Structure 1
Amino acid sequence: MADVNKSTAKTPAKAAAKKPAAKKATATKDTSETRTTSAQKAAPLKAGATKAAATSPKATGDFKDRALTKAKSAASQGKERTGSAIENLSRMIEDSARTIDDNVGEKYGNYARSAADAVSSFAEKLNAREIDDIVEDARGFVRKSPAVAIGAAAVVGFLISRLIKSGMDDNDA
Protein backbone atom coordinates (compact mmCIF):
# COMPACT_ATOMS: atom_id res chain seq x y z
CA MET A 1 0.00 0.00 0.00
CA ALA A 2 2.87 2.32 0.62
CA ASP A 3 3.86 1.90 -3.02
CA VAL A 4 0.35 2.76 -4.17
CA ASN A 5 0.29 5.95 -2.09
CA LYS A 6 3.67 7.03 -3.47
CA SER A 7 2.59 6.52 -7.04
CA THR A 8 -0.71 8.33 -6.38
CA ALA A 9 1.14 11.20 -4.74
CA LYS A 10 3.45 11.56 -7.75
CA THR A 11 0.69 11.54 -10.30
CA PRO A 12 -1.12 14.71 -9.11
CA ALA A 13 2.24 16.51 -8.82
CA LYS A 14 3.15 15.52 -12.34
CA ALA A 15 -0.28 16.57 -13.55
CA ALA A 16 0.04 19.90 -11.76
CA ALA A 17 3.45 20.43 -13.30
CA LYS A 18 2.03 19.79 -16.77
CA LYS A 19 -0.89 22.22 -16.40
CA PRO A 20 1.21 25.41 -16.22
CA ALA A 21 3.07 24.26 -19.32
CA ALA A 22 -0.24 23.87 -21.08
CA LYS A 23 -1.24 27.39 -19.96
CA LYS A 24 2.04 28.79 -21.27
CA ALA A 25 1.40 27.26 -24.66
CA THR A 26 -2.07 28.81 -24.70
CA ALA A 27 -0.68 32.21 -23.68
CA THR A 28 1.93 32.04 -26.43
CA LYS A 29 -0.73 31.15 -28.95
CA ASP A 30 -2.92 34.07 -27.80
CA THR A 31 0.01 36.48 -28.00
CA SER A 32 0.87 35.43 -31.54
CA GLU A 33 -2.76 35.93 -32.54
CA THR A 34 -2.67 39.39 -30.93
CA ARG A 35 0.50 40.26 -32.84
CA THR A 36 -1.06 39.21 -36.11
CA THR A 37 -4.15 41.24 -35.36
CA SER A 38 -2.17 44.39 -34.48
CA ALA A 39 -0.01 43.94 -37.58
CA GLN A 40 -3.15 43.66 -39.67
CA LYS A 41 -4.52 46.81 -38.04
CA ALA A 42 -1.26 48.69 -38.67
CA ALA A 43 -1.21 47.75 -42.37
CA PRO A 44 -4.15 49.98 -43.34
CA LEU A 45 -2.54 52.91 -41.48
CA LYS A 46 0.61 52.60 -43.58
CA ALA A 47 -1.36 52.32 -46.78
CA GLY A 48 -3.55 55.27 -45.78
CA ALA A 49 -0.43 57.33 -44.86
CA THR A 50 -1.80 58.69 -41.61
CA LYS A 51 -0.09 58.01 -38.30
CA ALA A 52 2.47 55.61 -39.75
CA ALA A 53 3.62 58.19 -42.29
CA ALA A 54 4.05 60.78 -39.56
CA THR A 55 6.55 58.52 -37.80
CA SER A 56 8.54 57.65 -40.92
CA PRO A 57 12.08 59.03 -41.09
CA LYS A 58 11.20 61.30 -44.03
CA ALA A 59 8.20 62.82 -42.22
CA THR A 60 10.27 63.28 -39.07
CA GLY A 61 12.97 65.04 -41.09
CA ASP A 62 10.38 67.30 -42.73
CA PHE A 63 8.91 68.17 -39.34
CA LYS A 64 12.38 68.92 -37.98
CA ASP A 65 13.18 71.14 -40.96
CA ARG A 66 9.91 73.05 -40.63
CA ALA A 67 10.43 73.52 -36.89
CA LEU A 68 14.00 74.70 -37.44
CA THR A 69 12.90 77.15 -40.13
CA LYS A 70 10.14 78.51 -37.92
CA ALA A 71 12.51 78.85 -34.95
CA LYS A 72 15.06 80.72 -37.08
CA SER A 73 12.35 83.02 -38.37
CA ALA A 74 11.15 83.78 -34.83
CA ALA A 75 14.73 84.34 -33.68
CA SER A 76 15.36 86.74 -36.58
CA GLN A 77 12.25 88.72 -35.69
CA GLY A 78 13.29 88.78 -32.05
CA LYS A 79 16.78 89.93 -33.01
CA GLU A 80 15.36 92.75 -35.13
CA ARG A 81 13.03 93.87 -32.34
CA THR A 82 15.82 93.72 -29.79
CA GLY A 83 18.15 95.71 -32.03
CA SER A 84 15.45 98.32 -32.57
CA ALA A 85 14.73 98.55 -28.84
CA ILE A 86 18.44 98.95 -28.05
CA GLU A 87 18.74 101.71 -30.66
CA ASN A 88 15.76 103.48 -29.09
CA LEU A 89 17.43 103.16 -25.69
CA SER A 90 20.57 104.70 -27.13
CA ARG A 91 18.56 107.65 -28.44
CA MET A 92 16.87 108.09 -25.06
CA ILE A 93 20.26 108.15 -23.32
CA GLU A 94 21.55 110.66 -25.89
CA ASP A 95 18.51 112.88 -25.31
CA SER A 96 19.03 112.61 -21.57
CA ALA A 97 22.65 113.70 -21.98
CA ARG A 98 21.49 117.21 -22.91
CA THR A 99 19.37 117.44 -19.79
CA ILE A 100 22.25 116.12 -17.71
CA ASP A 101 24.51 118.82 -19.22
CA ASP A 102 22.09 121.51 -18.07
CA ASN A 103 21.31 120.11 -14.62
CA VAL A 104 24.46 118.35 -13.43
CA GLY A 105 27.28 119.42 -15.67
CA GLU A 106 28.89 118.81 -19.02
CA LYS A 107 31.25 116.18 -17.57
CA TYR A 108 28.34 113.91 -16.61
CA GLY A 109 26.60 114.63 -19.91
CA ASN A 110 29.70 113.30 -21.67
CA TYR A 111 29.44 110.10 -19.62
CA ALA A 112 25.86 109.71 -20.80
CA ARG A 113 26.92 110.32 -24.41
CA SER A 114 29.66 107.70 -24.23
CA ALA A 115 27.15 105.26 -22.71
CA ALA A 116 24.74 106.05 -25.56
CA ASP A 117 27.54 105.43 -28.08
CA ALA A 118 28.38 102.09 -26.46
CA VAL A 119 24.72 101.02 -26.50
CA SER A 120 24.37 102.13 -30.13
CA SER A 121 27.52 100.23 -31.07
CA PHE A 122 26.13 97.09 -29.42
CA ALA A 123 22.86 97.48 -31.37
CA GLU A 124 24.78 97.80 -34.65
CA LYS A 125 26.86 94.70 -33.89
CA LEU A 126 23.72 92.76 -32.98
CA ASN A 127 21.96 93.77 -36.19
CA ALA A 128 25.02 92.85 -38.29
CA ARG A 129 25.34 89.31 -36.87
CA GLU A 130 23.49 86.28 -38.16
CA ILE A 131 21.36 84.13 -35.87
CA ASP A 132 23.60 81.08 -36.36
CA ASP A 133 26.64 83.09 -35.24
CA ILE A 134 24.82 84.34 -32.15
CA VAL A 135 23.71 80.81 -31.26
CA GLU A 136 27.25 79.50 -31.70
CA ASP A 137 28.62 82.29 -29.49
CA ALA A 138 26.04 81.43 -26.83
CA ARG A 139 27.03 77.75 -26.98
CA GLY A 140 30.68 78.68 -26.62
CA PHE A 141 29.91 80.89 -23.64
CA VAL A 142 27.95 78.11 -21.94
CA ARG A 143 30.82 75.67 -22.53
CA LYS A 144 33.38 78.10 -21.11
CA SER A 145 31.42 79.13 -18.02
CA PRO A 146 28.39 76.93 -17.35
CA ALA A 147 27.90 78.28 -13.82
CA VAL A 148 27.43 81.83 -15.11
CA ALA A 149 25.06 80.57 -17.81
CA ILE A 150 22.96 78.68 -15.25
CA GLY A 151 22.89 81.73 -12.98
CA ALA A 152 21.85 83.98 -15.86
CA ALA A 153 19.12 81.52 -16.86
CA ALA A 154 17.85 81.47 -13.27
CA VAL A 155 17.77 85.27 -13.13
CA VAL A 156 15.96 85.51 -16.47
CA GLY A 157 13.48 82.85 -15.35
CA PHE A 158 12.86 84.71 -12.12
CA LEU A 159 12.30 88.00 -13.96
CA ILE A 160 9.92 86.39 -16.45
CA SER A 161 7.95 84.74 -13.64
CA ARG A 162 7.69 88.10 -11.84
CA LEU A 163 6.50 89.79 -15.03
CA ILE A 164 3.88 87.10 -15.58
CA LYS A 165 2.78 87.25 -11.97
CA SER A 166 2.50 91.05 -12.03
CA GLY A 167 0.48 90.81 -15.24
CA MET A 168 -1.88 88.34 -13.58
CA ASP A 169 -2.22 90.63 -10.56
CA ASP A 170 -3.13 93.55 -12.85
CA ASN A 171 -5.82 91.46 -14.56
CA ASP A 172 -7.34 90.45 -11.21
CA ALA A 173 -7.73 94.04 -10.04
Structure 2
Amino acid sequence: MADVKKSTEKAPAKAAAKKPAAKKATTKKPATTKDTSEQRTTRAQKAAPLKAGATKAAATKTETTSDFKDRALSKAKSAASQGKERTGTAIENLSRMIEDSAKTIDDNVGEKYGNYARSAADAVSSFAEKLNSKEVDEIVEDAREYVRKSPAVAIGAAAVVGFLVSRLIKSGMDDNDA
Protein backbone atom coordinates (compact mmCIF):
# COMPACT_ATOMS: atom_id res chain seq x y z
CA MET A 1 0.00 0.00 0.00
CA ALA A 2 2.78 2.29 0.68
CA ASP A 3 4.01 1.73 -2.83
CA VAL A 4 0.61 2.48 -4.18
CA LYS A 5 0.41 5.68 -2.18
CA LYS A 6 3.82 6.77 -3.35
CA SER A 7 2.96 6.22 -6.99
CA THR A 8 -0.34 8.09 -6.65
CA GLU A 9 1.32 10.90 -4.79
CA LYS A 10 4.01 11.26 -7.42
CA ALA A 11 1.59 11.09 -10.29
CA PRO A 12 -0.54 14.02 -9.16
CA ALA A 13 2.57 16.09 -8.54
CA LYS A 14 3.77 15.50 -12.09
CA ALA A 15 0.31 16.07 -13.52
CA ALA A 16 -0.06 19.27 -11.52
CA ALA A 17 3.26 20.51 -12.83
CA LYS A 18 2.22 19.86 -16.43
CA LYS A 19 -1.31 21.29 -16.22
CA PRO A 20 -0.50 24.94 -15.52
CA ALA A 21 1.91 25.11 -18.45
CA ALA A 22 -0.59 23.47 -20.76
CA LYS A 23 -3.38 25.65 -19.41
CA LYS A 24 -1.51 28.87 -20.14
CA ALA A 25 -0.81 27.96 -23.72
CA THR A 26 -4.32 26.64 -24.28
CA THR A 27 -6.03 29.60 -22.63
CA LYS A 28 -4.26 32.22 -24.69
CA LYS A 29 -5.04 30.80 -28.10
CA PRO A 30 -8.74 30.01 -27.68
CA ALA A 31 -9.35 33.23 -25.76
CA THR A 32 -7.83 35.32 -28.55
CA THR A 33 -9.72 33.46 -31.24
CA LYS A 34 -12.93 33.64 -29.28
CA ASP A 35 -12.59 37.38 -28.61
CA THR A 36 -11.88 38.13 -32.27
CA SER A 37 -14.88 36.18 -33.50
CA GLU A 38 -17.09 37.88 -30.94
CA GLN A 39 -15.88 41.29 -32.11
CA ARG A 40 -16.48 40.43 -35.75
CA THR A 41 -19.95 39.16 -34.98
CA THR A 42 -20.72 42.29 -33.00
CA ARG A 43 -19.43 44.54 -35.75
CA ALA A 44 -21.45 42.72 -38.39
CA GLN A 45 -24.59 43.01 -36.30
CA LYS A 46 -24.03 46.73 -35.77
CA ALA A 47 -23.37 47.34 -39.47
CA ALA A 48 -26.65 45.81 -40.63
CA PRO A 49 -28.95 48.35 -38.90
CA LEU A 50 -26.75 51.23 -40.03
CA LYS A 51 -26.89 50.02 -43.60
CA ALA A 52 -30.68 49.71 -43.50
CA GLY A 53 -30.91 53.18 -41.95
CA ALA A 54 -28.60 54.59 -44.61
CA THR A 55 -30.79 53.12 -47.34
CA LYS A 56 -33.87 54.71 -45.79
CA ALA A 57 -32.03 58.01 -45.44
CA ALA A 58 -30.91 57.88 -49.06
CA ALA A 59 -34.46 57.13 -50.22
CA THR A 60 -35.81 59.94 -48.07
CA LYS A 61 -33.11 62.28 -49.36
CA THR A 62 -34.00 61.42 -52.96
CA GLU A 63 -37.70 62.03 -52.27
CA THR A 64 -36.88 65.27 -50.47
CA THR A 65 -34.61 66.42 -53.29
CA SER A 66 -37.25 65.60 -55.87
CA ASP A 67 -39.94 67.36 -53.83
CA PHE A 68 -37.67 70.37 -53.33
CA LYS A 69 -36.89 70.48 -57.05
CA ASP A 70 -40.59 70.32 -57.95
CA ARG A 71 -41.46 73.12 -55.53
CA ALA A 72 -38.57 75.26 -56.80
CA LEU A 73 -39.62 74.75 -60.43
CA SER A 74 -43.22 75.57 -59.57
CA LYS A 75 -42.22 78.78 -57.77
CA ALA A 76 -39.85 79.75 -60.57
CA LYS A 77 -42.55 79.27 -63.20
CA SER A 78 -45.01 81.26 -61.11
CA ALA A 79 -42.51 84.09 -60.66
CA ALA A 80 -41.65 84.00 -64.38
CA SER A 81 -45.34 84.22 -65.31
CA GLN A 82 -45.85 87.20 -63.02
CA GLY A 83 -42.70 88.83 -64.40
CA LYS A 84 -43.87 88.20 -67.96
CA GLU A 85 -47.23 89.87 -67.23
CA ARG A 86 -45.56 92.87 -65.59
CA THR A 87 -43.06 93.18 -68.42
CA GLY A 88 -45.82 92.99 -71.02
CA THR A 89 -47.76 95.71 -69.26
CA ALA A 90 -44.66 97.91 -68.93
CA ILE A 91 -43.80 97.49 -72.61
CA GLU A 92 -47.37 98.38 -73.62
CA ASN A 93 -47.16 101.50 -71.46
CA LEU A 94 -43.84 102.39 -73.10
CA SER A 95 -45.44 101.98 -76.52
CA ARG A 96 -48.25 104.35 -75.53
CA MET A 97 -45.76 106.90 -74.21
CA ILE A 98 -43.79 106.80 -77.47
CA GLU A 99 -47.00 107.12 -79.49
CA ASP A 100 -48.12 110.09 -77.39
CA SER A 101 -44.76 111.79 -77.75
CA ALA A 102 -44.79 111.32 -81.55
CA LYS A 103 -47.25 114.23 -81.94
CA THR A 104 -45.01 116.47 -79.87
CA ILE A 105 -42.01 115.41 -81.95
CA ASP A 106 -43.99 116.27 -85.13
CA ASP A 107 -44.61 119.79 -83.85
CA ASN A 108 -41.13 120.49 -82.45
CA VAL A 109 -38.66 118.62 -84.68
CA GLY A 110 -40.57 117.64 -87.78
CA GLU A 111 -42.98 115.13 -89.20
CA LYS A 112 -40.17 112.86 -90.42
CA TYR A 113 -38.95 112.29 -86.85
CA GLY A 114 -42.51 111.86 -85.59
CA ASN A 115 -42.93 109.01 -88.08
CA TYR A 116 -39.81 107.36 -86.67
CA ALA A 117 -41.35 107.59 -83.21
CA ARG A 118 -44.62 106.06 -84.48
CA SER A 119 -42.81 103.14 -86.15
CA ALA A 120 -40.83 102.59 -82.95
CA ALA A 121 -44.09 102.63 -80.96
CA ASP A 122 -45.59 100.06 -83.37
CA ALA A 123 -42.53 97.81 -83.05
CA VAL A 124 -42.63 98.03 -79.24
CA SER A 125 -46.38 97.35 -79.24
CA SER A 126 -46.02 94.27 -81.48
CA PHE A 127 -43.26 92.97 -79.20
CA ALA A 128 -45.57 93.41 -76.19
CA GLU A 129 -48.31 91.49 -77.99
CA LYS A 130 -45.94 88.63 -78.84
CA LEU A 131 -44.70 88.53 -75.27
CA ASN A 132 -48.22 88.42 -73.85
CA SER A 133 -49.36 85.70 -76.27
CA LYS A 134 -46.55 83.24 -75.42
CA GLU A 135 -46.16 80.98 -72.43
CA VAL A 136 -43.03 81.14 -70.27
CA ASP A 137 -41.72 77.80 -71.62
CA GLU A 138 -42.03 79.08 -75.20
CA ILE A 139 -40.15 82.25 -74.30
CA VAL A 140 -37.36 80.23 -72.68
CA GLU A 141 -37.08 77.99 -75.75
CA ASP A 142 -36.99 81.06 -78.05
CA ALA A 143 -34.21 82.54 -75.93
CA ARG A 144 -32.23 79.29 -76.14
CA GLU A 145 -32.58 79.23 -79.92
CA TYR A 146 -31.47 82.85 -80.17
CA VAL A 147 -28.39 82.16 -78.03
CA ARG A 148 -27.52 79.13 -80.20
CA LYS A 149 -27.82 81.19 -83.39
CA SER A 150 -25.89 84.24 -82.24
CA PRO A 151 -23.96 83.73 -78.99
CA ALA A 152 -21.92 86.93 -79.35
CA VAL A 153 -25.06 89.10 -79.36
CA ALA A 154 -26.44 87.14 -76.39
CA ILE A 155 -23.24 87.69 -74.41
CA GLY A 156 -23.29 91.39 -75.24
CA ALA A 157 -26.94 91.66 -74.21
CA ALA A 158 -26.19 89.83 -70.96
CA ALA A 159 -23.35 92.27 -70.26
CA VAL A 160 -25.63 95.26 -70.88
CA VAL A 161 -28.36 93.81 -68.66
CA GLY A 162 -25.80 93.05 -65.94
CA PHE A 163 -24.50 96.60 -66.12
CA LEU A 164 -28.02 98.04 -65.87
CA VAL A 165 -28.92 95.79 -62.95
CA SER A 166 -25.73 96.73 -61.11
CA ARG A 167 -26.50 100.43 -61.65
CA LEU A 168 -30.03 99.94 -60.33
CA ILE A 169 -28.74 98.12 -57.26
CA LYS A 170 -26.07 100.76 -56.68
CA SER A 171 -28.60 103.59 -56.96
CA GLY A 172 -30.88 101.75 -54.55
CA MET A 173 -28.04 101.42 -52.07
CA ASP A 174 -27.22 105.12 -52.43
CA ASP A 175 -30.86 106.00 -51.69
CA ASN A 176 -30.78 103.86 -48.54
CA ASP A 177 -27.62 105.57 -47.29
CA ALA A 178 -29.07 109.06 -47.60
**TM-score above 0.5:** yes
Which residue identity is paired with 1:133? E
Separation in structure 2 between the aligned mates of residue 55 and residue 143 of structure 1, nearest angstrom: 36
1:138 is the counterpart of 2:148: no
Cα deviation digits, residues 89-141 of structure 1 (max 9, x gap): 01001110111122122222222111111111110011011111111111112
- 1:36–1:131 Cα change, 3 Å: same
1:12-161 equivalences under 5 Å are 33=43, 36=46, 40=50, 43=53, 46=56, 54-56=60-62, 58-161=63-166
Separation in structure 2 between the aligned mates of residue 44 and residue 119 of structure 1, nearest angstrom: 57
Residue 38 of structure 1 and its aligned partner are, at CA, apart by: 10
Partner of 1:12: none
Give the alignment's TM-score, normalised by structure 1. 0.68
Residue 171 of structure 1 and its aligned partner are, at CA, apart by: 1.3
- 1:145–1:95 Cα change, 3 Å: same
- 1:100–1:151 Cα change, 3 Å: closer
Tell me, which stretches of 5 or more residues in structure 2 are unaligned? Answer: 1-35
- 1:40–1:112 Cα change, 3 Å: same
- 1:54–1:95 Cα change, 3 Å: farther
Separation in structure 2 between the aligned mates of residue 82 and residue 109 of structure 1, nearest angstrom: 25
Which residue identity is paired with 2:113? Y
Separation in structure 2 between the aligned mates of residue 149 and residue 44 of structure 1, nearest angstrom: 46
Separation in structure 2 between the aligned mates of residue 141 and residue 60 of structure 1, nearest angstrom: 32
Identity %: 78
Partner of 2:173: 168
Give the alignment's TM-score, normalised by structure 2. 0.66
Cα deviation digits, residues 131-161 of structure 1 (max 9, x gap): 1111111111222222332232222222211
Tell me, which stretches of 5 or more residues in structure 1 are unaligned? Answer: 1-25
Separation in structure 1 between the aligned mates of residue 124 and residue 100 of structure 2, nearest angstrom: 13
Which residue identity is paired with 1:43? G
Between the two proteins, the alignment pairs up a number of residues equal to 140
